[in-house]
Amino acid sequence: MNSLVSPDDHWVIWAFLVSMAALSLYLEQKYKFVKKITGAVVAICGGMLISNTGILPAESPSYDVVWNYVVPLTIPLLLIKTDIRTIFKETGRMAGAFHISVLGTIIGSIIAVALLHSFVDNLELIGPAMTASYIGGSANFVAVVSMFHPPKDLVNATLVADAGVMIIYFILLISIPGMKLVRRFFPEMEKSKILTGMDTSEHNEDYWKPKPIGLMDIGKSLSIAFLIAAISAKASSIFGAPGMPGVLNVILGQQYLLLTTLSVLFPIIFPKTTRNLAGNEELGTFLIFIFFVMIGLPASITKVITEAPVMILFCAVILLFNFLITFIVGKLLNYDLEELVMAGVITSGGPMNGVAIAISKNWRSLVFPSLMLGVWGYVIGNYIGYLMGILLKAIF
């Protein structure tokens, strides 16, 4: 279909991409009902609406810029302050509960693809992205989509389905501690009272303080992100070439895995540079929203609507096993109910949802561990998503 705006009219296309991303973020912050369906879904639907009505083109070189340059920048921006050495020191026993939930996501993804791959073409290509997303978050989904390139209509249908399923899953997890039947299996112990008591630790206080962002912060964040992205792109093109030894090809030949590795190594190698850095997470999040707008533009609304019901079931199966493995194995290993609820929230919804729910439940002692483990999910999500992709492609 011919569009009102030419595919080469890059100023108009970029004006829409950036403005729609900003509007989606604004609506998510302003209205509770938008927060429930997430700004990401608003961004995607905005892109689909504007292209399906013939205003913007379904294909443009500008979209390739987002794929090839904007998306790779999100990973270092979100991870360059993550010193993985401190995560397990700060999270203690709850780290175990988190990894039980990660196992549930992995098992659920394999079973979901096995059950539904005959109903949806290329399901094995979107499965790795949802595995990564239900371990880390949106940044991992974006990165793994870029690794395996599932059809854009399938990507959009999955994101729309995920938004609906996630609301139901969060309501379930939030409600569980108040259910008498559940409390028979997870009685409230003295440790539970300590875990959920008021914690006025410096970590929690600092998290909610406003963070001033200066011009130098923006400059340093962007320059570091561009440097890491450039090194990753060049190195992966060299080591990913045909004829390169298999080990080097796997470790250094995958751009997004190398991006992740260099991003988490940076604060270890240059701790002083990153210690007082600010604004990198905000920049990374905004770039992800530009991606969500862009991914909606090539999508057919009709195809998304027809595929979404199956993808709702797909996401539900993954989260069902996330839930079952978390609470069954967690019970066997004597984890407290609150720790398991937060593990399920963090893996399925990421650190921000984890922090928000911990605050809403008045589980102050679990706020900082939820944040740290959510960030750890960002780190490992890409690696697990990549390995899942190799496994699923080999099986299906």
Q: Which of 395, 368, 304, 388 is nearest to 132 (CA)?
A: 388
Q: What's the confidence (pLDDT) of residue 22?
A: 96
Q: Which pLDDT score, from 0 to 100, does residue 196 have?
A: 54
pLDDT computed for residue 198 by the predictor: 46
DSSP string, 327-354: HHHHHHTT--HHHHHHHHHHHHHHHHHH
Instruction: Give the integer Cα–Cα distance in Å for 179 and 184.
Output: 9
Per-residue pLDDT of the chain (396 residues; tens, 9 = 90+): 688 999 999 999 999 999 999 999 999 888 888 877 778 888 988 998 999 999 999 889 999 999 899 989 998 998 888 888 888 777 888 899 999 999 999 999 999 999 999 999 999 999 999 999 999 988 899 999 999 999 988 998 998 899 888 888 988 888 888 888 888 888 876 555 555 554 444 444 454 456 678 889 899 999 999 999 999 999 999 988 877 776 677 678 888 889 989 998 999 999 888 888 888 988 988 998 998 899 889 878 887 788 888 999 999 999 999 999 999 999 999 998 999 999 999 999 888 778 778 866 778 778 788 888 998 999 999 999 999 999 999 998
Query: Which class does domain 10-204+221-395 fall in?
Result: mainly alpha
pLDDT for res 187: 81
Q: Contact, 187 vs 338, CB < 8 A? A: no
Place of tokens 């139901």: 168
| Domain edges within the chain | 10-204+221-395
d(CA 38, CA 159): 10
Q: Which two tokens stand for residue 95?
A: 């780290």
Cα–chain-centroid distance for residue 390? 20
Inter-CA distances, 246 with 97, 236, 252, 394, Å: 34, 13, 10, 17
Neighbours of 75 (CB within 10 A): 32
Q: How many residues can be counted in the chain?
A: 396
Q: CA-CA distance, 116 to 157, in Å (whole number)? A: 15
Q: What is the pLDDT of residue 190?
A: 57
Residue 391 C-alpha from the chain's centroid: 21
- Tokens at 395, concatenated: 């099986």
Which of 285, 282, 231, 276 has its CA nearest to residue 258?
Answer: 231
